[in-house]
Structure 1
Amino acid sequence: MIQGWSNYYSRVVSSETFRKLDYIIWEMLRAWTISRCGRANLHEKLRNYFRNETVKLSNGKTRHESWLFKANDGTTLWQHDWTPLVRHTLTRPEATPYDGNWTYWATRKGQATDTPNRVAKLLKKQKGKCTWCGQYFTPSDIAEVDHIVPRSQGGKDEYKNLQLLHRHTRDDKTALDEERLLYS
């Protein structure tokens, strides 16, 4: 629940709020420990529930926590502060969805006016670049959807097997795929 709530609010300025909520939850868990175990040897009893460990976060980074609430089975309580904040990217002032620059809007939003949904999603996934030549798509380019592993060689028609290529690079890739099939 904490992780879902944090993800929902990760797009607004919330780092100070996250720190406050983590502190409030820590105080509540500390009070729970005191009510359960009493005040005698409080620091020792807190160490039964709170650990000093390094945690691997969802974005791949690690973080050292000195008061990490952890159950005996190894389950840890997610902290709000672990959620990476995502900043909003401003739209270019001269850009509108109707100016014909389908590559800008598809790269930005994953959708664009008069652009097939599949093409727009692939363009966003590839960050506006052709995977074969590495150059950015322009509004005048002809972009084609290509299977990374051709269907004739057992590739599936799924997003993880699709890529967006310039028309001329797709021709080169198709020729290489046919050559590999011929000599294998």
Structure 2
Amino acid sequence: MADQNQHEQHLLFALSQSDECAFAEIYKTYWKLLHDTAYKRLGDEDQAKDVVQDIFVKLWDQRETLAIDNLKAYLQTAARYQVYNLIAREKVNDTYFKYLASFETSLGGADQHVLYSELQERFGVILNKMPLKRREVFELRYEEGLSTHDIAEKLNITQKTVQNQLIKAVDSIKEALFMLFLLLAFLFRSI
């Protein structure tokens, strides 16, 4: 156990010095454990891989400033944290869609058509205002159904960049549509 701890500390020191071999060894040693941790909670292979990728990207990005006593515990905690953040974001997205569905059931046919057309128009405007790469990433993910890994390969960018662009795209869409939902809720309650 002491030898394992010493070896981890040696790896962490080497990592802090930007030693790519140390990073590769950490990656090989802990990838499966982190993947299994994420997959057990998410039940989705692509999302689990994305979580693990995020963890290792952050580990590399913060290598010079990290103070880790127990690498295994640190990485497992990071995996759980990433999973919880992902679930929380999805629940927020779910709330908007449930809210929209409640409008559908309470509106008549003509009103539904007007609402749907307005939402489509607003969505198009939001997409067109996005930077070109962000819009391309968003469309590849949500219209073509590609994984973040596949998008990264197709666009020759990192998976982390893909994830960051998706988060920014979804946040801007949620913000714009939320204001429309509030306005519609106010209008329909006063009718």
Name the TM-score class by shorter chain.
under 0.3
Rg (Cα) greater in structure: 1
Which structure ranks higher in relative contact order (CA pairs < 8 Å, sequence separation ≥ 6)? Answer: 2
Q: What is the TM-score normalised by the length of structure 2?
A: 0.23
The TM-score with structure 1 as length reference comes to: 0.24
Q: Which one has the bigger strand percentage?
A: 1
Bigger helix share = 2
